[in-house]
Amino acid sequence: QAKSRGKNTFDFYAPELTQSVRARLTMEGDLRAALDTNQFLLHYQPIVSLNGAGVQGLEALVRWQHPVRGLVPPDEFIPVAEDSGLIHEIGDWVIDAACAQLAQWDARGLSHLTLAINLSPVQFRRDGLVSRIARRLRQHSIASERLHLEITESLLMEQNRHVAETLQTLDAMGIGLCIDDFGTGYSALNYLRHFPIRQLKVDRSFVEDMLHAEDTRALVRAIVLMAHALRLEVVAEGVEEKSQLELLREMGCDQVQGYLLSRPLPAAEIPGWIESQRLRIVS
Ligand code: C2E
Ligand code: MG
Ligand code: MG
Ligand code: MG
């Protein structure tokens, strides 16, 4: 169809293209400046056990405090950071900030918490990820067991020897590897046997559809059973309603995370939130 417009095609599309290219370049420049002037911050969302153990840990979620646009969510800038390579520096900042925060909470007596951080597949393609993580843990005196890394199914599907070795090393260090958004990728279940995965995080879309769609409910139930057969833990993401939590508990899901429990919170609000939960543990 575009071809039939012949000569005019370029004129017709060019302004739009130019605009999106320009927007992207602007964002790249802004991200660069954001790194230099410390505009990133982490919010933390509690992950709560369904077997009475209370708050198990937190997930660190990056935000960008943009001078003009305000608080920008990660889905709007992580893809640009990945394409431009800036994800390496942003990712290193996240690792450092997360470990520093764990150390701060330790000092306040919250030394039982685990902290999960999200890693982009791009970060695995550069050498030295393991040593950079190890250095940060050492620097902040954090035991590696306290750190969880959330990775995507697509990373495992790459069949990349370097990635496989990196994951083996991280696991051997005691770091817990979790598959994020489980069920949305290829879900070639065979891969679960070949990688040292500890936890599956069932994607929010399943939790959302589960109450209304019987097939989705059957899928979640099957994921929990399969995960447990492989000795993996299951975390349900995006739990917003009590009825979802009850169904997940009945299915044997291990942990839940979602707005029903808490939104992602600034670091300063975490000790208070945990204290307020101590007496009303979901069990
Ligand atoms: P994710 O890792 O799957 O994180 C869960 C997302 O769901 C978060 O969005 C969280 O705020 C949101 N969420 C949690 N509970 C609920 C709920 O009950 N209902 C709904 N509707 N949403 C809920 P957020 O913070 O905007 O992050 C989006 C994605 O950005 C993350 O998805 C993750 O893939 C990526 N991301 C976040 N932080 C980082 C980071 O430090 N590095 C990298 N590479 N990616 C990150
Ligand atoms: Mg995640
Ligand atoms: Mg997720
Ligand atoms: Mg996600």
Segment 84-128, tens digit of pLDDT? 999 999 999 999 999 999 999 999 999 889 999 999 999 999 999
Q: What is the pLDDT of residue 13?
A: 58
- Whether the CB of 62 sits within 6 Å of ligand 1: yes
Summary mean pLDDT of the chain = 92
* Ligand that lies nearest to the alpha carbon of residue 60, given by its number in the listed order: 1
8 A C-beta contact, residue 216 and residue 179: no
| 16 has pLDDT over 80 | no
| 217 has pLDDT over 70 | yes
- Which atom of ligand 1 has the smallest separation from the CA of 119? 44
8 A C-beta contact, residue 127 and residue 169: no
Ligand 1 centroid – CA 55 distance (Å): 18
How many CB atoms are located within 10 Å of the residue 165 CB?
A: 11
- Work out the percent of the chain whose per-residue pLDDT is above 90: 79
- Whether the CB of 118 sits within 6 Å of ligand 1: yes
Q: What is the pLDDT of residue 189?
A: 79
Mutate to test the pocket of ligand 1, among 59, 77, 89, 118 (most ligand atoms within 8 A of CB): 118
Q: Which helix (H) or strand (E) holds 224?
A: helix 214-229
**Which residues have CB atoms below 5 A from the ion given as ligand 2?**
118, 150, 180
Ligand 4 centroid – CA 9 distance (Å): 37
Residue 226 sits at φ, ψ, to 5 deg, of -65, -45
pLDDT band, residue 15 (cuts 50/70/90) = low
| 2 has pLDDT over 50 | no
pLDDT band, residue 3 (cuts 50/70/90) = very low
CA-CA distances (angstroms) from residue 268 to 22, 43, 58, 101? Answer: 37, 10, 13, 10
- Whether the CB of 181 sits within 6 Å of ligand 1: yes
* Ligand that lies nearest to the alpha carbon of residue 178, given by its number in the listed order: 2
Per-residue model confidence as pLDDT tens digits over 239-249: 999 999 999 99
pLDDT band, residue 20 (cuts 50/70/90) = confident
Provide CB contacts within 8 A for 249, sequence distance 6+. 50
Ligand 1 centroid – CA 61 distance (Å): 6
Per-residue model confidence as pLDDT tens digits over 176-202: 999 999 988 776 678 888 899 999 999
CA-CA distances (angstroms) from residue 184 to 35, 179, 180, 188? Answer: 31, 11, 9, 11
17's tokens: 């293209």
Q: Which helix (H) or strand (E) holds 155?
A: helix 153-157
Q: Whose CA is nearest to atom 19 of ligand 1?
A: 238
Ligand 3 centroid – CA 89 distance (Å): 22
Q: What is the mean pLDDT of residues 38-59?
A: 94
8 A C-beta contact, residue 273 and residue 249: no
Ligand 3 centroid – CA 95 distance (Å): 18
Ligand 4 centroid – CA 201 distance (Å): 10
ipTM of this complex prediction, to 2 decimal places: 0.98
Residue 177 sits at φ, ψ, to 5 deg, of -100, 130
Per-residue model confidence as pLDDT tens digits over 241-275: 999 999 999 999 999 999 999 999 999 999 999 99
How many CB atoms are located within 10 Å of the residue 110 CB?
A: 16
- Which atom of ligand 1 has the smallest separation from the CA of 62? 38
- Which atom of ligand 1 has the smallest separation from the CA of 259? 18
CA-CA distances (angstroms) from residue 243 to 113, 167, 261? Answer: 27, 36, 13
- Whether the CB of 72 sits within 6 Å of ligand 1: no
